[in-house]
Structure formats: C-alpha cells, structure tokens
C-alpha cells in the first residue's frame, strides 16, 4: 500500500522590524505625531503592533509584539522614575549642605560682631579660625550652586517633583486627606455650606483638589510655581490673615518641611502654620519622606508628636506610614507654647539635637 509522504511544516521566519516599516508589502501608511510610520486603520492589528515595535526588535506574532512594546515602555518608565528620584535626592542633599554652610557663615559673623563689641582681643585667634572656615564655606557654596545649576536649578527640581506626583507614579498625596476632612466635618453640606478654606504650601499643581471644589476652596502657593494658577509666595513671608474669617481650615505642608536645610527654619515653618489656622478646629496636613521618621538618628515619631504638641497641635487626628512617605494630620487645639522641650533664651523652648537611634546606615 502506497503511503503519501507528509510534508514537513515550514518554520515561520522571524522578521526584523524597524520603526519605519509596516511589516507588509504595499500596505498604506500614515505618519504619526511622533514621526513613526504606522499602518492605516485598514491594516490588521498584527501589522500595527509590528510597526510599533522598537527598531531592531524581532517578532513572530501579535502576542510577542505586544509584550515587546509593553516591556520597552516599562523599562523606559522605570529608568525615568529612577532618574527623577536621583535628581530629587541629589538636590535635597545639596540644599541641606548649602543651608549648613550659610548657617556657619551667619554664626561666625554674629560671633565676630560680638567680639568687636566687647573688645575681646584674646579671642582674635578664634576669630581668625572662623574667618578661614567662612572662606572655605564660601568656596563650597559656589560649588554647590554651580552643581544645582547643572542639575537645572529649582525649576528642574520642581518639574521632577511634578512628574513624581503624576498618576503614573502613584498620584499626589492629597487623596489621603479627603476622607479625613469628611470625617472631621461630618455635617458639612458640600453643595450649600461655605467651602473649607485650604492653603496648599509648595503646591506642584493647582488642580489637586479641583474635583472637591464645591466644598473645598484651595489657595495654592509656591516659591517657584509651575503653573500660572499657583501664586508665587514665600510662606514665611506671607501676610498673616487680619481677621478670623480669612483664616484657613486646613494648611497643607506636603514634602515642604524636609526641603528646608536649616532645622531652625523648619521649626519656624511649623510655627507659621499655627498663625494661619482656625483655632481649635484647624488641621495641619504634614507629609514627610518616611526615612525622616523611621531612619533618622535624631528624629522619630514620638519626638515629632511632642514637638507638634508644644506648638499647639495637641491632637494627632491620624497618621499613616506608606512605603516611602509618612502622613500626619494634626489639629490646632491650643495656642502655641505648651509644655515640652527645654527653656532657652527669651522663654523659647528648644528641642536640642540629641541622638535617639544610634544604628548603622541611619540618616544624620
């Protein structure tokens, strides 16, 4: 009995596809906004995916093409996220070092003036040493500012921060606050009652609370606004409201305090918030990088709560530690100047720099 010899199935050839190819001879193309050659709508989905495959990639099916496109986008997004995080971290480090240099120069200036005032000639040796330190600080300040400029300056830092709070990167931190505002104001009529007044310090976008505009009126401010709807303003120089009806129900300090390199100025920012809030009901929304709380030698959750209590924020409404951020909502219950800390000059309370957690790899 004669048996027909079965034909061997032909192997499908792997086709190298470039960004400018359609994958099919004679297929019509249309030019996309990004300059890629993409088949017209009459072409089948496989050709569309093949045309979108990065240059030099190989594909044998629509599934592999789709995976190639997705993996390429994922790699690009991961690299972009890493670059953004590195820029932000480096700018923070430089800004902190800059603040230390400026603080030393100011301290040396005050000491020199005091010496001249009291004619303490025996301290001239110390004054000379201080002048050498000031000269070294001035050189370092020039280097720091040059590196900041090379990174793109404050404008590039702000753009990187804006990208960091995009929906693709997890969204902005305002969404955590909304349920808390609703629980603190359960009787508010979101359609007819006067809206809550919210001051957003260091705002990256004026639209963070836009969909809640019927019951939340936002005043966004920043030193270097990235949007014309954000008011250019230094919070420490912002005029304090002259009347109670101009005070705010909420002050937001989201990733603001940690940006300031000088510890004394950080404290002044927190104190300034008390001047803008409605007493007994006003809320402070404070967001910090998590390492500031759980990886610091000199700060932790308990100390932060104690310091806030001294400022008048006696009630910690809620807090939450996420993967990278620490969220806090405090209520201004009493006037600033409660118990806690150590009395310094002019009756001011100081929280001295003191080692609380001496472990390897902790932030200084």
- Identify which of 275, 256, 278, 254 has the alpha carbon closest to the alpha carbon of residue 266: 256
Alpha-carbon span 341 to 89, nearest angstrom: 31
Token readout for 355 is 């080692």
Is 222 annotated as ligand-binding?
Answer: yes
Within 8 A by CB and 6+ apart from 47, the residues are: 22, 23, 24, 27, 39
| Integer Cα distance of 28 and 41 in angstroms | 9
**Is 202 part of any known ligand binding site?**
yes
Find the farthest-apart pair of alpha carbons in the chain and give their distance in angstroms, rounded: 124
Q: What is the DSSP letter of 202?
A: T
- Evaluate whether 96 touches 260 at the Cβ level (below 8 Å): no
- C-alpha to C-alpha distance for 278 and 298, rounded to whole angstroms: 31
Q: Alpha-carbon dihedral of residues 107, 109, 115, 121, nearest 10 degrees? A: 110
Q: Is 327 helix (H, G, I), strand (E, B) or coil?
A: strand
SS3 135: helix
Indicate the helix (H) or strand (E) that contains 280: none
The 3-state DSSP class for residue 147 equals helix
DSSP string of 39-79, one letter each residue? E-TTS-HHHHHHHHSPTT-EESSHHHHHHHHHHHHHHHHHH
Backbone angles phi, psi at 21, to 5 degrees: -100, 150
CA distances from 15 to 47, 49, 227, 235 (A): 12, 13, 47, 60
Do 278 and 247 meet the contact criterion of CB atoms below 8 Å apart? yes
Phi, psi of 334 (to 5 degrees): -135, 170
Q: Which residues are annotated as a binding site?
A: 202, 222
Q: Which residues are annotated as a binding site for S-adenosyl-L-methionine?
A: 202, 222
């Amino acid at each position: 009995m004669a048996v027909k010899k079965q034909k061997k199935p032909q192997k499908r050839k792997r086709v190298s596809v470039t960004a400018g190819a359609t994958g099919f001879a004679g297929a019509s193309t249309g030019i996309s906004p990004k300059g890629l050659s993409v088949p017209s709508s009459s072409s089948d989905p496989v050709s569309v995916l093949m045309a979108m495959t990065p240059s030099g990639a190989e594909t044998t099916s629509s599934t592999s093409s789709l995976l190639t496109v997705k993996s390429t986008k994922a790699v690009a997004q991961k690299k972009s996220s890493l670059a953004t995080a590195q820029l932000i971290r480096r700018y923070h480090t430089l800004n902190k070092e800059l603040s230390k240099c400026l603080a030393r120069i100011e301290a040396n200036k005050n000491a020199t003036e005091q010496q001249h005032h009291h004619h303490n000639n025996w301290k001239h040796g110390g004054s000379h040493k201080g002048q050498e330190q000031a000269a070294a600080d001035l050189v370092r300040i020039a280097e720091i500012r040059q590196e900041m400029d090379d990174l793109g300056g404050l404008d590039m830092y702000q753009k990187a921060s804006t990208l960091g709070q995009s929906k693709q990167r997890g969204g902005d931190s305002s969404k955590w606050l909304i349920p808390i505002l609703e629980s603190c104001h359960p009787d508010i009529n979101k359609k007819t009652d006067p809206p809550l007044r919210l001051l957003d310090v260091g705002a990256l976008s004026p639209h963070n609370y836009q969909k809640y505009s019927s019951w939340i009126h936002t005043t966004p401010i920043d030193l270097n606004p990235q949007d014309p709807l954000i008011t250019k303003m230094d919070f420490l120089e912002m005029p304090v409201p002259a009347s109670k009806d101009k005070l705010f129900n909420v002050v937001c300090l989201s990733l603001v305090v940690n940006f300031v390199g000088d510890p004394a100025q950080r404290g002044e920012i927190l104190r300034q918030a008390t001047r803008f809030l409605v007493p007994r009901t006003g809320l402070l929304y404070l967001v910090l990088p998590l390492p500031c709380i759980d990886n610091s030698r000199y700060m932790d959750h308990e100390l932060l709560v104690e310091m806030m209590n001294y400022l008048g924020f006696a009630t910690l409404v809620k807090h939450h530690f996420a993967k990278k951020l620490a969220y806090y909502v405090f209520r201004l219950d009493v006037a600033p100047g409660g118990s806690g800390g150590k009395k310094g000059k002019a009756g001011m309370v100081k929280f001295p720099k003191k080692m609380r957690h001496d472990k390897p790899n902790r932030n200084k």
